[in-house]
Amino acid sequence: MTFASDATPERIIPTELREEISRSYLEYAMSVIVGRALPDARDGLKPVHRRILYAMHELGLSADRPFRKCARVVGEVLGKYHPHGDTAVYDALVRMAQDFSMRHPLINGHGNFGSIDNDPPAAMRYTECRLQALTSDALLQDIEQETVDFGDNFDGSQQEPLVMPARIPQLLLNGSSGIAVGMATNIPPHNLGEIIDGVTALIANPEITDQELMQYIPGPDFPTGAQILGRAGIRDAYLTGRGSVTMRAVANIETLENPGRPSREAIIITELPYQTNKAALMEKIAELVNDKKLEGISDIRDESDRDGLRMVIELKRDAYPRVVLNNLFKQTPLQMNFGANMLALVNGEPQLLTLKRFLEVFLEFREEAIARRTRYNLRKAEERDHLLQGLLIALENLDAVIHLIRNSGDTALARQELMQVYGLSEPQADAILQMQLRRLTALEAEKIEREHEDLQAQIADLQDILQRRERVLDIIAIEIAQIKTKYASPRRSIIIQDDGELLTKDLIANEKSVILVTQQGYIKRMPVDTFEAQSRDGRGRKGAQIKEDDGVEHFFGCNDHDQILFFSDRGVVYGLPAYQIPIGSRNARGTPIVQMLPIPREEKITSVIAVQEFTEDEYLVMLTTKGYIKKTALAAFSNIRSNGLIAISLEEGDQLRWVRRAKVSDSIIIGSRAGMAIHFRASHAQLRPLGRATRGVKSMALRAGDELVGMDIIPAEVVATFADQAESEAPETEDTEAVTSYPGPWVLVVTTNGFGKRVPVNQFRLQNRAGLGLMATKFKSKTTADHLAALRVVNLDDELMIVTSRGIIIRQAVNVISSQSRLATGVRLQRLDEDDVIVTAAIVPPGSIEAEGTGEGN
């Protein structure tokens, strides 16, 4: 199809309509792609952002200068560089100042610049701005040294940079999003320190792969924090340029104590996924609750302030917090996906980039910028040295030069004669003519000579940089290292494995802790140094705010990286990393364990084990209240489902009570309330290994009215040393001198009324399983309700924490407790208040303890 007119045939060109539309639309599309929507892979900026930053730089709005009205900046950008609407420019400026939009904001804003609730910013006439220090140091540094190309602005009246001389991969640092014609980009922000480490690794090894780079850049780091679930989406984005990254809010379950009202459990949200509107999120949750699509929520409110975000979702009394939280993740933007599309302009063409390609494009650009800066400095140094050489010639022929100038008719003639007589260039002759008389002194002449020598060294160094690429790469590494030292910050977004377990080795210090669990199911974690060591016979220190009808059930030491196995009275085992247990102060009650584990409220945790590594040669030895014992391979518990695993099969009326770790060569010692103890091997002959869903065999014969109170494991080397000794070699005497030469280890015996002792292991001879055992202790008074409270195997370098039913804890070294025989009554370990009794004794992981205190705790 063609068209033409008979009126003015000389002005109309016959054109195919399809070709015209195709050509015109393609030109329009490329104009949008290159000029508006897609960022440049070199500096990570779109034209509007680049023009705003350059205009502010030209206005002198650096980080150490006063703020200037945003309207002034917008006017400067519109008038000189960006002939579009003021709203578009101001919106771009505002986003570069929002700390919830950019990982490292490029502009420092003063005033209302919007909020995470999608509140609009104040009008530009009210707000003020200036550049961030990072922007000046990492994006605008050296822009006057011909490091980048400049081009005409829209009317040719001004020059603007076509790219910023970026010193860091800004596109990865703050990310970018934009919709062009037929294509779009969506690049997530990253951590500054990590991407600099990635660039450094690429410089050191140009053959590094994308997979290897992920060791340095593990994933995005969003400004609002939150969690990233899994690595599959990150891997796809880094290796192919496209991937879906799952983000999840940071939510904790707390118990709210309101005066005059019963306590309520609540979900506290402190971090949201990137680009989530908090106000819209709360409206969405309220809508789902009203539509009965979300159960268990009684109230929702926003308690955010200048200290940070805090959304409180209060739950009904009969709600299960974990179930409600899972539903929130499933039905609301508390969990959402970030669709990464790593599209950027490379040499003016849109390209889908991998992680390594991103860094390669930046590195190539940075090398060119360093080379251009070096050539600029070299030219300036040579020009200056050229003038100095002329001045040195004049100083060497000072009298003749002065005579020549004085006898010249005018400046032009003097210049001409200087050039002819001494072979000077015109700039050198002008420099001599402009030289002040004070520079004719000997001191000034020496300064000129010294400056000439310095310039010669500088010129040689600059020429060496241009000739050797390794020098350029060294300069890049040094400059980015300086930026990392000055501006890098810790990662905000925690990357979580697919099963939800945190990457503890990278993110959490493996500190020593103690974990306390009460009879009513409250749990908390405390640093081990919360309790300084005290002398024997002290009052102790309060370890928890225990209710009158509650008491301490479990108290043990661990490391924060350990996996904690919780065994319930029903014979079910649950798993939880130690660091996920909330830290509490000494006076805190703790967190209800039902908030941490999916256990029914009527179920009770009876034993807790800390496991650092699930090895093949270890077993878990389990003992029930009816005396059934069995051992099961520890590896059988390495993968525990979210709703737990069956650990032991129980008959009606029986409960799982004690669980310990052991090897085949170890032995087992069990104590009863009446003060009896039995010691037998953990070998397959005495105790064959069984699967998880089995009951076990009989452990100890009990007299009428007696019951089991504890079990512990004696290490293999001790069993080998004393297995063949007769009991006669360990005399049953109350004389402590008879056991003072024993090297250890010992069986620590603690009674409910606060007395205890260390008994040599060799006084408990090895017996066959299911016997009555031997007497472990005599009680101080037979008229009081004194019983055996704890029986543990200890060494001299161990530390002990003794816990009472009221939550009083005393920490002391084992070596201050007297070593006595089985028939002795022991010494007082702790002075107890009326109606208070010892309930357990825990061994703290080995470590140095402080000097002993006075014995008076609080």
Q: Which residues on neighbouring strands pair with residue 352, listed in sequence order?
A: 343
Crossing angle, helix 355-396 and helix 192-204, to 10 degrees? Answer: 80
Q: In whole angstroms, what separates CA 204 from the centre of its chain?
A: 26
CB-CB contact of 312 with 306 (8 Å):
no
How far apart CA 624 and CA 606 sit, in angstroms, is 10
Which residue among the candidates 28, 81, 126, 320 is catalytic per the annotation?
A: 126
Q: Distances in Å between the alpha carbon of 359 and those of 106, 351, 490?
A: 20, 14, 21
Length of the chain: 858
Contacts 24+ apart (CB under 8 A), 225-228: 225/250, 225/271, 225/492, 225/493, 225/494, 226/250, 226/271, 226/272, 226/273, 226/274, 226/493, 227/271, 227/493, 227/494, 227/495, 227/496, 228/493, 228/494, 228/495, 228/496
622 neighbors 656 (Cβ within 8 angstroms): yes
Contact yes or no for 89/52 (Cβ under 8 A)? yes
- At 670, which helix (H) or strand (E)? strand 667-672
Q: In 3D, which of 329, 2, 265, 280 has the Cα closest to residue 119?
A: 280
| Cβ-count burial 665-696 (b if 16+ within 10 Å, e if not) | ebbbbbbbbbbbbbbbbbeeebbeebebeebb
Gap between the Cα atoms of 5 and 1, Å rounded: 14
Q: Which residue has the tokens 């702790």?
A: 830
Residue 536: partners with Cβ closer than 8 Å, 6 or more residues away: 812, 816, 817, 827, 828, 829, 855
Q: In 13-155, where do the E strands start and end?
A: 68-69, 107-110, 128-131, 150-152
Q: Write down the residue that tokens 């099963």 correspond to.
A: 499
Cβ neighbours of 366 (radius 10 Å): 25
Mention every residue, 6+ apart, whose C-beta is less than 8 A from residue 508.
Answer: 502, 560, 561, 579
Burial, 632: exposed, middle or buried (Cβ in 10 Å; 0-12, 13-18, 19+)?
A: buried
Terminal Cα distance for the chain, rounded: 98
**Quick one: which H or E segment has residue 135?**
helix 133-138
Whether 272 and 334 have beta carbons less than 8 Å apart is answered as yes
User: Can 126 be counted among the known catalytic residues?
Assistant: yes
CA distance 315 to 557: 33
Q: What is the Cα–Cα distance from 641 to 74, expressed in whole angstroms?
A: 57
C-alpha to C-alpha distances, 769 to 378, 499, 634, 672, nearest whole angstrom = 89, 41, 22, 14
Look at residues 272, 163, 286, 261 and name the one whose alpha carbon lies nearest to residue 224.
272
CB-based contacts of 102, cutoff 8 Å, min separation 6: 95, 96, 174, 175, 189, 223
Distance of alpha carbon 541 from alpha carbon 812, whole angstroms: 11
In order, the DSSP letters of 191-260 are -HHHHHHHHHHHHH-TT--HHHHTTT--S---TT--EEE-SHHHHHHHHHSEEEEEEE-EEEEEEE--TT
The residue whose two tokens read 């008994």 is: 759
Calpha distance 69→81 (Å, rounded): 18
86-95 and 47-58 helices, crossing angle to 10°: 80
- Both structure tokens of 224: 């609002």
Enumerate the active-site residues.
126
